[in-house]
Amino acid sequence: MALENKCLVCGSNNIEFNLDCKDHLTGGDNFDIYTCKSCSFLFTANPPSEDEIGKYYAAGDYISHSDTKRGLTNFLYHFVRRVMLSRKKYIISHSTGLKTGTLLDMGCGTGYFAGLMKQAGWKVTGLEKNEGAGKFASSKFNLEVLEDNDLEKIEDNHFDCITLWHVFEHFHDPVKYMVLIKRLLKPGGICIAAMPNCSSFDAQHYRQFWAAWDVPRHLWHFSPDTFRTLAEKNGFEIIGIKSLPADVFYISILSERHLGTNMPFISGMVKGCWFAFRSMLRKKGSSSVIYILRAIPSAH
């Protein structure tokens, strides 16, 4: 795949090396991050193919696929998840204007968000690549969990809302999914996509140690500007940008650990406060961003 030759966002082939990042989760392989000089889009160069990337998830205990609460970082992750779930639910009802409807949660993981929405009366479908996580989600929350191929069978204009919580940056072919999301959403339907922000204050501070590069699992590294360009090219308008304020603490603690700091938890929390404060004044500097997209009804 000639990923390194052409910018996904603007099509330019004016590409250059930007950073050398380490995979801290599995074997410690290094991957380069390249940048497009025309639009500043960043992406992981020469990532493993879709067939090969599985081992980069399986070797570590990839946190969003697990339900373990061992260790302080895992404990923090699960605590934060509880707090964030209600915020996500609020964002769905607020941005769709609906109390209930049809929802597709792409990359539903162990199904906590999808389960919560189902409990709230939504007709929820999950999509999950990881078999173990998908089985967990369907047995614990009695959810319908589909695989990629099943989506082709779903008719057009089916969903009121499609959510992707930290999923979009994992797709090998994100444009294919944008086209699919556009087809599956009702005209004017809402897509909510959360992802790390490579132009955030914490990304600028930690540089190659920033935990949300998460190479090679994260293939694309969006900023609010580059994501807007890609979304608009594919028939969406961005009607809102929100933050998941707790992400910055989790990312800062992990980044401090990558840096080899003595007390990563304390320094991560302290710096996280500073980044969080600054991003209150400038939302585009948030560690991760929730994009609220509206599918522009097609002309035909």
- The reply on whether position 12 binds Zn ion by CB under 5 A is yes
- 8-state DSSP, 27: T
- Residues in 34-53 that interact with Zn ion by CB under 5 A: 36, 38-39, 41
Comparing CA positions, the residue from 37, 33, 38, 29 lying closest to residue 3 is 33
Position 212 contacts Zn ion (CB under 5 A): no
* Residues 69, 78 contacting (CB under 8 angstroms): yes
Provide the Cα torsion 169, 170, 172, 176; round to 10°.
-60
Rounded Cα gap, residues 296 and 58, in angstroms: 38
| Residue 231: CB minimum distance to Zn ion, A | 14
**Biggest CA-to-CA distance, the chain:** 60
Residues binding Zn ion: number (CB under 5 A): 8
* Residue closer to Zn ion, measured from CB, 41 or 249: 41
Comparing CB distances to Zn ion, the nearer of 12 and 142 is 12
Q: What is the smallest separation between the CB atom of 37 and Zn ion, expressed in angstroms?
A: 8
**Burial class of residue 128 (count of CB atoms within 10 Å of its CB; 0-12, 13-18, 19+):** buried
Please say which residue, 5 or 298, places its beta carbon nearer to Zn ion. Answer: 5
C-beta of 56 vs 227, nearer to Zn ion? 227
Q: Provide, rounded to whole angstroms, the least separation between the CB of residue 287 and Zn ion.
A: 23
Within its chain, how far is the Cα of 89 from the centroid? 17
| Contact with Zn ion (CB under 5 A) among 4, 6, 10, 158 | 10
Q: Considering the complex, what minimum distance in angstroms separates the CB of residue 6 from Zn ion?
A: 9
Smallest separation, CB 149 to Zn ion (Å): 31
User: By C-alpha distance, which of 259, 267, 282 is closest to 197?
Assistant: 282
Structure tokens given for 234: 């594919």
Q: Which is nearer to Zn ion, 198 or 292 (CB)?
A: 198
Indicate whether 7 belongs to the interface with Zn ion (CB under 5 A).
Answer: yes
**Interaction between residue 293 and Zn ion (CB under 5 A):** no
**Minimum separation from the CB atom of position 229 to Zn ion (A):** 8
Quote the least distance from Cβ 198 to Zn ion, whole Å.
Answer: 13
Structure-token pair, residue 205: 């501070």
Is position 9 an interface residue for Zn ion (rule: CB under 5 A)? yes
**Strand order in 220-221's β-sheet?**
15-22, 30-36, 42-44, 220-221
Is the dihedral angle over the CA atoms 148, 152, 154, 159 positive or is it negative? positive
- Residue 192 or 230 with smaller CB distance to Zn ion: 230
Residues within the interface to Zn ion (CB under 5 A)? 7, 9-10, 12, 36, 38-39, 41
